[in-house]
Structure 1
Amino acid sequence: MASIQKRDNGSWRARYRDAAGKEHARHFPRKIDAQHWLNEVTASVVTGRYVDPKGGKITFAQWFEQWSAAQVWATGTKLKAEQALAIATFQDHQIRSILPSHVQAWVKGMSARLAPATVKVYFNIVSSAFRAAVTDKVIAENPCAGAKLPRERRREAAMTIPTPEQLGEALEAAPNWFAAFISVCSFAGLRLGEAAGLQLRDVDFLRRTISVSRQIQGNTKASAEVVPPKHGSERVVYVAEELIQVLALHVQDVGVFGDEQWLFGTGGTYFNRNSAADRWRDVREDAGIGEFTLHDLRHFYASGLIADGCDVVTVQRALGHAQPSITLNTYSHLWPTAEDKTRTAGSRLISAVLGGSADSVRTGKATSL
């Protein structure tokens, strides 16, 4: 319902009620201006672009805190969201006043000091907050739409994978109590937090399996906590007999600790991200193998599965990826190309026709093929 009335002072009062029954009004010196305003409001309602005129007055930080409080996030995601808000240069602006140029300037500033992948994570969180504001009719458009992000390096160029020789040197240099942790990351593909969260009951020594049912999140002893695995990552990993033997020796020689019988840790507590990474840095420096991370050991495991002919779904399940597309996006460059498959298929055809004799293809008869 909308109307225009002339006031005693000669101005014109235009008013309407929104879908919730709330009244909104503005005053104009001319009736035609009042009518134009009501026409714009009506058009926005019809096209679905209507927003509460007062809703966009809150700051982005106020909206972000309100929105994030309703999200069901893992601890790590919540931490990244807090970091994204902390570095948002427009956090104190009214949300309705934030322009695409503000967002692009923020992205450019981040790109000067952060890795492209980190910029993308923070940008996606902020963009999600803006999208929610559009859905709730707080603002009409998402100012993140169309923003240009820094280019990420191609995965095949950015991914570093140690060679078997380098990994062997690392295991040789590792202290006895840490070697099994490196082995679990390298030969079962567990993430750092998943390996840190292993307890004795997770290893089935007869069936040669490792169950991933928890992980340790947090960078320090104070912030570390036991949480469920990432979405879709709870799994059973079928491992080699040799790895089972390594774990059996670890239990025999090093032992477990705590009522939960944790397998790995230091100082009587399980590893956190920093403590495990610190121990690994000491090992790689002693071994002189370069700047490989513990996550690169997971890539080592994936590359071995792929090189041995495992299909996408098998690798996905072993690594605990929620979708096969994640596995392909990460490791597609490691699978044989169409050219490789064509050559292999051609070789099999020739072997089938010529009896597998490599010499026969050099004979005169072979040239007639």
Structure 2
Amino acid sequence: MVSFRQRGKDWEYRIPYYDPVTQKRREKSKKGFRTKKEAATEAAIVQAEINGDFVRKDDNITISSYIDLWFEKYKLTVKKSSWDSRYDSIIVIKKNLGSCRVKDVTEKIYEGFLNKIAPEYAKNTLTNIHQVFNMMIREAVRDSYFKDNPIHDVNLPKKAKEKKVEELDEDLKDMKFWEKEEIKLFLQVVSRKGRPRDLAMFLLLIYSGLRIGEAVALTWDKIDFKKSEIKVRYTLFREKDLKSNYELLSPKTESSIRNVPVPPQVIMQLRILKNVQEQVKNEVGELYKDEDFVFADNSGMPEPARNYNYRMATYIKKAGVTKITPHNLRHTYASLLFAAGIDLKEAQRRLGHSSSKTTLDVYSHVMRETKIESVIQFNAIANDIF
């Protein structure tokens, strides 16, 4: 609230306010006016500037300091699960641009930052960093460091991003997969000794090629029981693998958003799982947090992917088959596709690769072995005939 006082023959105004960045109480004042009316006229203009957030800011504040101030305000507006996942982005920003003054940020500086870090991070990570930096800069615009957003037209570096995503898509050093007999032995053990949830998960991974993160992110509306199809739309990110701290993110590439046909056995087991889940809901009652996840635990929360790693290892030991991981089931699925004669383009689509080159690079050895097997089978037929 503006106050006025007369000092001798002159008038002075005082305007108390809270700095929107530091939240500290400040005051603007000026003296030397001949009349109270003159003081009031200028005070009204200054008050309007304050209300419009055009208060002079610290021109020397660094990004490292400013992003901390922004983050403290941001945390009050969202759930902990949301702001907690932003902190890793802030660490990257501070590491690379922390010493830069906020007012010195330009399109060129920011593009240089993105180009520098692009080869080190996958698409989702880069996207999160980009979002955090943009939110901070929009706050800086409101705080009058800029008239307009200086990085409004900056996009993620596409080539570097896609290259990194493709590199991360498959682990070429760990290309293990099961033969048909091993699949059969493993599923028999899970069917006899496992939970309906486990059998549904492993059947799905073997006969759909989904990544484990895509599978645990599935909700029931993404299961098309009539078409026997799985709609892949999200992957589940869990901060430090904490059970209650998860976030649904877009898959690794645009091509990862796909519809995958599955055999009737998978659909049948998913129906069984849905019935089991309904029984659990009735038993748990209001304590069940129903968010429609297919692979939910008994509280309704999506079951952590790591649980399936542990349980799979147990079943493998009992079945006496080659030791592999849930991700290796994706390779197993690819081998089944090629053994069934599925063409390269269709395999690429089902696996969610952005190019057929990736499919070729990753699974060329599987295709080569399948080809050799086909030749042997053909020669055996020839021998039977003549």
Q: TM (normalized to structure 2)?
A: 0.49
Task: Give the CA deviation at 1:245.
Answer: 1.5
Match in the other structure for 1:147? none
Match in the other structure for 1:214? 234
- Aligned counterparts of 2:182 and 2:384: Cα–Cα separation in 1: 39
Segments of 5+ residues of structure 1 without an aligned counterpart are 1-60, 66-74, 95-118, 126-151, 362-369
Match in the other structure for 2:106? none
Match in the other structure for 2:339? 307
The correspondence for 1:292, drawn from 314, 324, 347, is 324
Query: How large is the Cα RMSD of the aligned pairs?
Result: 5.2
Match in the other structure for 1:109? none
Counterpart amino acid of residue 293 in structure 2 = W
Written as runs of structure 1 = structure 2, the 5 A alignment for 1:134-283 is 158-174=174-190, 175-177=194-196, 178-218=198-238, 219-230=241-252, 231-255=254-278, 258-268=289-299, 269-283=301-315
- Aligned counterparts of 1:340 and 1:161: Cα–Cα separation in 2: 17
The DSSP-based 3-state class of the residue aligned with 2:236 is strand
Preserved CA contact (<8 Å) 2:295 2:303: yes
Segments of 5+ residues of structure 2 without an aligned counterpart are 1-63, 69-82, 101-118, 127-166, 282-288
- Aligned counterparts of 2:92 and 2:342: Cα–Cα separation in 1: 38
Written as runs of structure 1 = structure 2, the 5 A alignment for 1:59-208 is 158-174=174-190, 175-177=194-196, 178-208=198-228
Counterpart amino acid of residue 166 in structure 1 = E
Task: Give the CA deviation at 1:310.
Answer: 1.4
Change (3 A) 1:179 1:79: farther
Task: Give the CA deviation at 1:222.
Answer: 3.8
- Aligned counterparts of 2:258 and 2:244: Cα–Cα separation in 1: 28
Q: TM (normalized to structure 1)?
A: 0.51
Change (3 A) 1:224 1:274: farther
Task: Give the CA deviation at 1:224.
Answer: 2.1
Preserved CA contact (<8 Å) 1:156 1:333: no
- Aligned counterparts of 2:173 and 2:247: Cα–Cα separation in 1: 34
Change (3 A) 1:176 1:272: closer
Q: Deviations over 1:59-78 (max 9, x none)?
A: xx99xx9xxxxxxxxx9x98
- Aligned counterparts of 1:295 and 1:358: Cα–Cα separation in 2: 39
Match in the other structure for 2:147? none
Q: Deviations over 1:313-333 (max 9, x none)?
A: 111111111222221221122
Change (3 A) 1:322 1:93: same
- Aligned counterparts of 1:192 and 1:360: Cα–Cα separation in 2: 46
Match in the other structure for 2:8? none
Preserved CA contact (<8 Å) 1:217 1:273: no
Preserved CA contact (<8 Å) 2:255 2:349: no
- Aligned counterparts of 1:237 and 1:275: Cα–Cα separation in 2: 24
Change (3 A) 1:325 1:223: farther
Task: Give the CA deviation at 1:264.
Answer: 0.8
- Aligned counterparts of 2:305 and 2:341: Cα–Cα separation in 1: 32
- Aligned counterparts of 1:278 and 1:79: Cα–Cα separation in 2: 29
The DSSP-based 3-state class of the residue aligned with 1:271 is coil
Counterpart amino acid of residue 188 in structure 2 = E
Counterpart amino acid of residue 330 in structure 1 = V
Preserved CA contact (<8 Å) 1:224 1:272: no
Task: Give the CA deviation at 1:93.
Answer: 12
Greater share of residues in helix: 2
Match in the other structure for 2:362? 330
The DSSP-based 3-state class of the residue aligned with 2:226 is coil
Change (3 A) 1:91 1:208: same
Q: Deviations over 1:108-143 (max 9, x none)?
A: xxxxxxxxxxx9879xx9xxxxxxxxxxxxxxxxxx
Change (3 A) 1:340 1:279: closer
- Aligned counterparts of 1:199 and 1:293: Cα–Cα separation in 2: 23
- Aligned counterparts of 2:121 and 2:180: Cα–Cα separation in 1: 32
Task: Give the CA deviation at 1:163.
Answer: 2.6
Across the two proteins, how many residue pairs are aligned to each other? 249
Change (3 A) 1:328 1:220: farther
- Aligned counterparts of 2:314 and 2:91: Cα–Cα separation in 1: 29
- Aligned counterparts of 2:206 and 2:92: Cα–Cα separation in 1: 32
- Aligned counterparts of 1:271 and 1:330: Cα–Cα separation in 2: 29
Task: Give the CA deviation at 1:246.
Answer: 1.8
Counterpart amino acid of residue 231 in structure 2 = S
Task: Give the CA deviation at 1:197.
Answer: 1.3
- Aligned counterparts of 1:245 and 1:220: Cα–Cα separation in 2: 31
Change (3 A) 1:81 1:311: farther
Counterpart amino acid of residue 246 in structure 2 = A
Task: Give the CA deviation at 1:203.
Answer: 1.4
Preserved CA contact (<8 Å) 1:255 1:263: no
